[in-house]
Amino acid sequence: MAAPFNAWVQPAFDLFHDDALMHPTLPTLIADVVLQSTTRSVYRLHWNTIAIWNDLSARVIQYWNSVPQLDKQTNVITIGEYTGRFNRVGFSRAGNEGDITAIILDFVQPVQSSAANGTNSAPQPSDRHSILQQWTQGVEGNAVAGCPDLVMRSEYGYAPHRVTVMGEVKNPWQVTLAGIDQIVRQGIAYRWIISNLLENNLNNLPQSPPREVLASRLALEQIYGYMVRNGKVYGVLTTMKGWSFLRRENGGLLYITPMFGDFQARQGISHGAAYEGYYVSHGFSIIQALYYLSAMAEATDNLPETPIGGRAGQVTLPYAGNSTTAAPMIQQPPPANPGFELGGLAPAPAQDGQGHQIGYQGVQILGGYDQSGCAHYDEAFNYRDFQFEP
């Protein structure tokens, strides 16, 4: 007689930590009918300076070489679960950002978390990693300015946990490799060390249609606005097919990688990432890069914007208009304005356009909840007269 089924029995993990992380992601099938929506988030901000994060590959590889061999050779997930998720998602079709997010949550997130966070009772790695998860309203959500699709949050401690990375999901038929490239080329300090980093030649990149450039610019302004207003150093912009990793410094400086892709050719679905024009992630996989980022973010403090050049006062983060026009930039205090305490927030009236950011006192939202760009929170109630403060 067979033993009774017991769902509490710990699975027999039989796939190594490094095999799970180093395997390529998978191509995404596009639905016959797709949505063409673009963001008009009022949290968007435009950078003062944009440049290529050209050493991400070296950083990921250097970090990976420092990972103890014991971690790499520890089984963290079952082959059955991995292949089941891979094949299920591999035949999914995406027609909107919700579909793309669901694919990430069904494959990328559980695989990355099994290695980084020991989910489902898997052994944890030697170092600490933030947890990749979908952003939702709640205890952690109330401490976030904006509506990011994904976040990484601190693994340890008690709620509310510290959010460490902002993540945004976009449609691959709208936010494209060429669109991102053109936005960066138009930047103030464009320094693309393409010859030493990537196979593709910048001069041979196709000119992206204006609609793709617009969608890409809006997406970058959205994720950058979330990073600045929440004081986060790291961000991720993804279409599942392509992945760009972002890092910011004080003073309006944004570093961004090209849009990497590592999915392989699959008959009837795709000829592979390189064929589709994505930059090949030489020496590392996308999930390895996420693993690296989750370790770096866990060990990195918040970085609120503060005045540059020793200027007294505080920066201002204006809201963007509910349109597709270029978002405002971070505003430095005038030289003669003593301002308020460094890192704090001026109690400016909502009509003045003052935004919000993480200060020493947390998040302060100046104005009604309808300004958050997240009005779908609860359509049954009107939050126009509410003011959310720490």
Convert 189-202 into a string of H (helix), E (strand) and C (coil). Answer: CCCCCHHHHCCCCH
Contact (Cβ atoms closer than 8 angstroms) between residue 59 and residue 300: no
Name the helix (H) or strand (E) containing 151: strand 150-153
CA dist 40 and 326 (Å) reads 10
**Predicted local confidence at residue 386, as pLDDT:** 29
At residue 236, the pLDDT reads 98
CA distance 121 to 254: 38
Residue at token pair 């020493």:
360
Q: How is residue 296 written in tokens?
A: 């770096």
Residue 119 tokens read as 């989910």
| Burial (0-12, 13-18, 19+ Cβ within 10 Å), 13 | buried
- DSSP string for residues in 241-262: S-EEEEEEETTTEEEE---EE-
- Taking the model in full, what pTM does it have? 0.82
Q: Quick one: which H or E segment has residue 66?
A: helix 56-66
Report the candidate in 131, 154, 151 with the shortest Cα–Cα distance to residue 141.
151
> In this predicted structure, what is the pLDDT of residue 40?
84
Query: What is the predicted pLDDT for the residue at 194?
Result: 39
Q: How far apart are CA 307 and CA 315, in angstroms?
A: 6
pLDDT tens, position by position, for the chain (390 residues)?
667 776 767 778 878 898 999 999 988 889 999 988 888 889 999 999 999 999 999 999 999 999 999 999 999 999 999 999 999 988 889 999 999 999 999 999 999 999 999 988 889 999 999 999 998 766 455 568 888 999 999 987 666 688 999 999 999 999 999 999 988 887 744 444 434 444 444 444 445 558 888 999 999 999 999 999 999 999 999 999 999 999 999 999 999 999 999 999 988 888 999 999 999 998 999 999 999 999 999 999 999 999 998 888 899 999 998 888 889 999 999 886 454 444 444 333 333 344 556 543 333 333 333 334 443 322 233 333 323 222
Q: How far apart are CA 30 and CA 234, in angstroms?
A: 29
Cα distance between residue 229 and residue 234, in whole Å:
12
Any idea what the Cα angle at residue 272 is, between residues 184 and 22, rounded to 5°? 85
**Residue 169, SS3 per DSSP:** strand
Contact at 8 Å (CB) between 78 and 115? no
- Given this model, what pLDDT does residue 302 score? 94
Give the amino acid at 48: N
Question: What's the confidence (pLDDT) of residue 36?
Answer: 87
* Per-residue confidence (pLDDT) for residue 349, from 0 to 100: 35
Tell me the two tokens of residue 336.
Answer: 């003669």
Q: Which residues contact residue 348 at a Cβ distance below 8 angstroms, ignoring those fewer than 6 apart?
A: 316, 354, 366
Alpha-carbon span 77 to 114, nearest angstrom: 6
Length of the chain: 390
Q: How far apart are alpha carbons 364 and 342 in whole angstroms?
A: 15
